[in-house]
Structure 1
């Protein structure tokens, strides 16, 4: 199918006098187009027209995402720009194409400024322990505070940090903040947060994190590192040793969005996780008999392996009651409590208040 589409696109470009055009396959569902032109708007419109007339191929609906930018002598950076533009486009609620790299450059600039000045916004989602009706874990969410624009969500700025090689610096900044916060709050409270695969594969980052933990007077068990399944399943073996080392130091390891891919069970065969958070689809479709029975089976399997279980996006009382019958360990969502800002968290959990 990709071969057919690229051939048709090549013909469409040739008809519109784009004579010096190269189309190369990038991976199984993406391709790069290079052409010599000073009229970028014309190229953009040709591609938009092509998409509008080729929405189906062999009666199969095709979803397109594309970006157009000027190519510099730094080809690798140009390709990274295009990939990031398309990622932003896919995550955008607007059904619009980004015509050039201006938006990505603006986001890159805001991202770098926010990271430099530590302009981070932390929110905390409480997890309710259904066994004793207590809240002893909070999931940490982070946004970048942007001047003169909306705050940036991770799905927009993380690809940029990764492409610029700054994900480790970002992650250690997050870890420092969280560990410092743990010193201020009740010693029975744990905080769970995400680290990028780039950091988790880096032994240098591992050493920095362990040194940071040891320099503070907190129980490492209060730190829960989350792995986002869709980002990890390609190369779990790449950081098993680092995860094992962190776990030996007392840090707990959680896999997020469990069940979102066929690799889920494979993770459990290769590593002893402390906690799994089920993909939101299981919570949202819990009333479906098949989905409910699969979730119940995974909870039972987790119990036998001494793994704590978490259901997220629990927004209705009925969901909470059904999950209680499944004997899940924790739930998170508006049926528990709305997310807290840091001042609210400190007010509720500070040592001085206990």
Structure 2
């Protein structure tokens, strides 16, 4: 039985006592009423009125008991409110809050049905409870935070906790549950990391979503303070740019420049925009930051004559689909008297946008204004192929994996095939991160339109670019 179920039983037992004790008192009053009180109609009416009062009291307690249940009806773990309350009450600085995320729950629900998905979650929590008891972690608070996420509270060392929970995760992923594959992710954070429990939870999700460099950075800063620092970026123009030229292979000249965006947080240093994207998204600053970046970029390049170059900058696809951003961007270019034809807006998205026809219309409206559209990290773990099928794309930038593994004949053939396919679709191609002469030779043999990397040029400031 889960610790949460034990606490729920205790809670219901207390409610039962609250119902039973007044009942016994009421029965006692009725038995001794005639010896204790005079036989008047008023006293009789008062005694009878105790019955509906008690009935109302009982119904209220039962209703209140259902409304204040401690456990989730599906998994029998604590509810979100209850587990958050327990985290708020933590006083031991050594306590660790852990987030367990079921990565493929949506796939399970779609493939096997929601009822089977519920059974998987219930079984997972039961197996987790047994595993914890085997490792002498009895009565561990476990709560369901969202559909596929659970919070746990431990009083142990972080190193030991990571070790045995990763063992549990690997065991589940290896054996599955009821012959169904279950994929888990874990993140850990000290309860005293932040005074705001919402920031702790948000940070745990970021640690799961983010890549390794940010996992090393984020635990050493308070998310609340980091958010304030990011907001300061918008006020104080904390946007830095580097410009990396690329080689046009056929023309043998550097006519393509990629804009590399950095965010200067002052207190915590300078970070690539991609490293902070998840925090920015959760703060609701995605569109505002992209607007600020575009305004700052146009101001930076204003003195620079770039008519013979194409400038590529990465924009969030969510921002790109925002009609407010589109109006802002067109107005900005009109005010600055700049030509959008030299600008390429690069997008990368993990999962494809469901309303593809609407997205196509949005992309077409940008192209009508003069902008070109590029797909980043093409051929990686994203929806690049889906977008290439349905959207009017001008350029694809291949994922770094193709450059890293270009000495593998299989990757050479794949890259050459993709480039040939793109040519038939009249889509230009770019291979990035080419840092060695041997790699450059193999890449050139695949005949992409553009090559970028330290072999071609290192990132430059606007002054160096001039």
For normalisation by structure 2, the TM-score amounts to 0.63
1:126 alignment counterpart: 245
Contact 2:301 2:462 in 1 (8 A): no
- Rg (Cα) greater in structure: 2
- Map of 1:3-152 to 2, 5 A cutoff? 3=121, 6-11=125-130, 16=137, 18=139, 21-23=142-144, 26-27=147-148, 31-33=149-151, 41-42=155-156, 47-48=161-162, 50-51=164-165, 53-54=167-168, 56-57=170-171, 60=174, 64-68=185-189, 79-88=201-210, 90-92=212-214, 94=216, 98=219, 103-152=222-271
Q: Aligned partners of 2:130 and 2:399: how far apart in 1?
A: 43
Match of 2:319 among 188, 199, 204: 199
What SS does the aligned partner of 1:108 have?
A: helix
Deviates more, 1:251-260 or 1:129-138: 129-138
Q: Aligned partners of 1:261 and 1:21: how far apart in 2?
A: 32
For structure 2, the 5+ residue unaligned runs are 1-101, 103-119, 176-182
Q: Does 1:333 align with 2:447?
A: no
Higher relative contact order, chain-length normalized (CA < 8 Å, sep 6+): 1
What SS does the aligned partner of 2:222 have?
A: helix
Aligned residues: 335
1:119 Cα deviation (Å)? Answer: 1.1
Higher-helix-fraction structure: 2
Q: Deviations over 1:113-171 (max 9, x none)?
A: 22221111111111111112211221111122233433123244221221111111110
What SS does the aligned partner of 1:340 have?
A: coil
Contact 1:69 1:82 in 2 (8 A): no
Q: Deviations over 1:207-263 (max 9, x none)?
A: 111111222322211111001143x53547263322111011110000011111474
1:89 Cα deviation (Å)? Answer: 6.8
Q: 1:53 to 1:283 in 2, by over 3 A?
A: closer
Q: Aligned partners of 2:407 and 2:199: how far apart in 1?
A: 47
Q: 1:311 to 1:229 in 2, by over 3 A?
A: farther
Contact 1:182 1:218 in 2 (8 A): no
Q: 1:58 to 1:109 in 2, by over 3 A?
A: closer
Q: Aligned partners of 1:88 and 1:155: how far apart in 2?
A: 10
1:23 Cα deviation (Å)? Answer: 3.9
Q: Aligned partners of 2:311 and 2:284: how far apart in 1?
A: 26
For structure 1, the 5+ residue unaligned runs are 349-354
Match of 1:274 among 376, 394, 406: 394
Q: 1:245 to 1:312 in 2, by over 3 A?
A: same
Deviates more, 1:79-88 or 1:314-323: 79-88
Q: Aligned partners of 1:84 and 1:174: how far apart in 2?
A: 23
